[in-house]
Each structure stands twice: as C-alpha cells, then as structure tokens.
Amino acid sequence: MNKIVVVDYGMGNLRSVAQALRHVAPEADVRISGELADIRSADRLVLPGQGAIPDCMRCLRESGLQEAVVESTRTKPLLGVCVGEQLLFDWSEEGNTEGLGLLPGKVVRFQLHDKLQADGSRFKVPQMGWNRVKQTLSHPLWNGIADNSYFYFVHSYYAVPEDAKHTAGETDYGGPFTSVVAKDNIFATQFHPEKSASAGLQLYKNFVYWKP
C-alpha cells in the first residue's frame, strides 16, 4: 500500500492536506503523523507549513523530526507546501533563519511599496488570493494541469533558488517570482494545492503516483 505521511511537527494546514490526498487516492494509507517510525516507513512525505518560518523551523527541530525528514528526502518523494516549500532552502530573511538546506537559495520578502497594480491600487503584502502559475519546467506533477492555471496563495515571502533550473513555476505579483520548485525527488509549491480546486487536486493526485 502507498503510505503517505503528512508531517505533523505542530505547524501547517494538516487536515485539509490529508483530506485532499484521501480524496484523490482513496486506496492509499494517508496519515497525519509526528512519529519517527511513520516518517521513516512512509513511501512519500508531505511537508506543510503555515505562519512564520522561524516558528516552523523551531517546531520542526524541537519535534525531533528534522533529521528524519532530511534523511527521507534522499530516498522518497517529498512535496513541500507553502512555508513547507520555504523550509527547504538555505536561509530566510524572515527572522534571519537557517532552513533545511535541501535546495540552494534563499527566501525573501516582497518589496512592492513603490509598485502599483493595473487598476492603480497598491500591491498588498501578504499576497492573498488566486493567481496564475506559469509552468517553466516540464514535470510529471504538471500532468493534466493547464499552463497558467490559477492557484491559491497566502504569503509575504517567496523563494529565490540559486539555480534557475530548480524553478518549476513562476507567478507574477509586482514582477515574476518563483512559486514552484523541483529537484530530483523534491517538488514544492508556494501556493496551497488543497485550497486550489481541481488544479490543486490534480497536483496532489500526480504526487501520489509520481515515481521519480
């Protein structure tokens, strides 16, 4: 059986993620867990995150799961969601926080105070709501999802990969930024697939059956 563990380290939209996975893969063993044994025996992991990255890193570290998550990325598919994507990088300027270092790069805050939207209004930070994602990399997790589909975002910070080849999707908010990253068996989104209607569900379904 395909065992999918949504990592419970005390931060993130766990239930909504798990419900979306169960919807697209009713035959899979989907569980929310903070147990080391579950992390290590999982076939694939989902790393969610919500709130401030310093809090997420602290909770992940104090939960005792950080090392197991990093180890797991060497052998099994991992999907990062929202702050779970940001955690994968080397460093975030939010609280001058070190990340997991699984992807080279940094996380920075939107600087949009001098920019106006097409209607003349100011950009709001955080970005909250629907926005398009341009697929910049051919990847199995994009299967069945139209280019420039809308996904749901809630964030003030975004990832800046050191290597452009790790950018799998871009979104425009006062200028283009990386909204999806991919490297080997890691795929991660700044948006929330579980809040993104049919396109988000298709992405979760693709992850369930992905064989990197």
- The pLDDT, as a whole number, for residue 13 is 83
Q: Residue written as tokens 């899979």?
A: 28
Is-catalytic flag, 192?
Answer: yes
3-state SS assignment for residue 83: helix
**Cα distance between residue 43 and residue 78, in whole Å:** 9
Output the pLDDT for position 12: 80
Q: Which of 56, 85, 155, 194 is catalytic?
A: 194
Residue 119's Cβ-count burial label (10 Å; 0-12, 13-18, 19+) is: exposed
Query: For residues 145 and 149, what is the distance between their CA atoms, to the nearest angstrom?
Result: 7
Each residue of 5-49: pLDDT tens digit?
999 999 888 999 999 999 999 999 999 999 999 999 999 999 999
Q: What pLDDT does residue 99 have?
A: 97
> Dihedrals φ, ψ of 13, to 5°?
-90, 70
The DSSP string of 17-73 is HHHHHHHH-TTSEEEEE--HHHHHH-SEEEE---S-HHHHHHHHHHTT-HHHHHHHT
DSSP one-letter code for 98: E
- Block means of pLDDT (10 residues each) for the chain, 212 residues, are 94 92 97 96 96 95 95 96 97 97 98 90 95 98 98 98 98 97 98 98 98 94
Rounded Cα gap, residues 139 and 96, in angstroms: 32
Helix axis angle, 14-24 to 197-208, nearest 10° = 70
Residue type at 204? Y
Q: Which of 56, 82, 85, 155 is catalytic?
A: 82
Q: Which of 56, 85, 155, 192 is catalytic?
A: 192
pTM as predicted: 0.97
